[in-house]
Homo-oligomer: A and B are copies of this chain.
């Protein structure tokens, strides 16, 4: 069975497995107070071009969002985010469980615009009843977006400028940050991200770690009682050094980006092949998630031999699907999929597939 289901279907990159094995018997303090976490923090700050700043590790992406959004917002405040964003759709209401509202903005291609943010905030205070409403208290964007698309540097600069102007902290969800930075279309660097965002996280789970994300901010103290908040939100790992070991590994010798580049290369090869076969793009992504609109008949057949995700609610005749690559995707996987798809096409003419 081929697997394009997601970028968290395998374990970790070999270097991480080795490091975990190698350090397994060491005794270290719990909860991230160990020297591996310390070293990983230093490596991450260096990679971000930051002298000083906060780096805190949490278990997963939903946990990172839950902690950061709750940590940044005051009472009666909400987070401005794309209607398609992870915090609005796919976190089972964790933002609301901690008392906050997601204030949605339209998001063509998964992105929100500086103009829409500015309009929302300006209009908010022009409404005479604004004190009866949830105040926008921060901005959340994903890079890459849930649809695999990227903000350009100038788009990010505009958003950051609007945020500064309205005194709204800008938070970038980088669950797949590496795949963004590794994309040929990306015109922004990690140190630039670290300056543009008030706070962001570098994803590990979807980038070759067993699990774990690194919350980073150039503003120490941006979230008071951050450690306790991480504990309260269920985001703290007892054997915290496992996070340190993994991120130390990923941020040594450029491993993080090296694997990300591989995955993106596989994704673009896949995209090219699919388009060559005449399949329609659902969205034009330049990162490791690729979206196509496939006829339901093709989907049905293909699912016998390959795993991938239906994107949203199935349509009557065709449905958007997501094919995802990762560090573990091989050229052979792509070619096998391509082979299946030619069969799929021929099936229109009455042929049968056997997987």
Contact = CB atoms under 8 A, between A and B. Distances in A.
Most chain B CB inside 10 Å of its own CB: which residue of A21, A66, A92, A312: A92
Given A10-B26, A100-B93, A128-B310, A211 B238 contact: yes
Given A29-B5, A237-B60, A92 B205 contact: no
A10 B24 contact: yes
A132 B3 CA distance: 21
Contacts of A97: 75, 98-99, 232-233
Contact of A126 (B9, B231, B313): B313
Contacts of A129: 90, 309
A62 interface: yes
A193 to B, nearest CB: 22
B9 A90 contact: no
Counted per complex, copies of this chain come to: 4
B17 A92 contact: no
Contacts of A224: 74-75
A76 interface: yes
A228 B132 contact: yes
Contacts of A21: 17, 21
A309 B24 CA distance: 22
Contacts of A314: 126
A323 to B, nearest CB: 13
B30 A6 contact: yes
Interface size class of A (residues with CB under 8 A): 35 or more
Contacts of A98: 97, 99
Most chain B CB inside 10 Å of its own CB: which residue of A23, A75, A227, A328: A75
B128 A232 contact: no
A240 B3 CA distance: 16
Looking at chain A's contact residues, the main secondary structure is: loop
A307 B27 contact: yes
Given A74-B224, A126-B313, A236-B60, A231 B11 contact: no
B89 A133 contact: yes
A39 interface: no
A92 B131 CA distance: 7
Contacts of A205: 238-239
A12 B26 CA distance: 10
A92 B229 contact: yes
Interface string A222-265: 00110111011111111100100000000000000000000000
A144 interface: no
A94 to B, nearest CB: 5
A307 B259 CA distance: 38
Contact of A134 (B28, B92, B100): B92
B8 A238 contact: yes
Contacts of A162: none
Given A134-B96, A232-B92, A27 B8 contact: no
Interface of A: 1, 3, 5-6, 8-12, 14, 17, 20-21, 23-30, 59-63, 66, 70-71, 74-78, 89-102, 123, 126-129, 131-135, 205-206, 210-211, 224-225, 227-229, 231-239, 242, 307, 309-310, 312-314, 328
20 contacts: A5-B29, A8-B238, A10-B25, A17-B21, A20-B210, A27-B307, A59-B59, A60-B234, A60-B236, A62-B236, A66-B234, A89-B133, A90-B133, A91-B132, A91-B231, A93-B100, A99-B99, A210-B242, A211-B239, A211-B242
